Amino acid sequence: MAKLEMADFIESLGLEPIILHMQASSGRTIIEKIEHYSNVGFGVVLYTPCDIGCKSGALSSNYRARQNVVFEHGYLIGKLTRSRVTAIVKGQLETPNDISGVVYISLDEQGNWKNELRKEMRSVGYSV
């Protein structure tokens, strides 16, 4: 599973991964939970093919990430800035085209994504 692979990798860098849906809600709404757990120095957003979507009237559809993932991505960009948020994409899926300048890293089987993520983290001061 992509989120566990990502969590293992983040831990191997000596950092603590925070997987939002695995954190206690403590009576918080979803947005309050995002606000509470996003006091971090760097964010990784995983786009996995969990939903299928298309334009109204289209004859074909595409895999896409769940809409909450897109929202959380935008929220993190607003809070941390674009340079401190990296989007990792698993498989062939539709990505939002209205988040200008976002670079998506492919979660490839060869593990090249790990070097790409390290490079992004180093660019903002992490020693990984």
Residue ranges of domains in the chain? 2-123
pTM of the complete model: 0.85
Three-class SS of residue 2?
helix
CA distance 124 to 40: 13
User: Counting every residue, how long is the chain?
Assistant: 128
Residues 27-79 pLDDT 10s: 998 889 989 999 999 999 999 887 787 678 777 778 778 888 888 899 999 99
What topology is assigned to 2-123 in CATH? Rossmann fold (3.40.50)
CA distances from 104 to 15, 27, 35, 49, 108 (A): 22, 33, 24, 14, 12
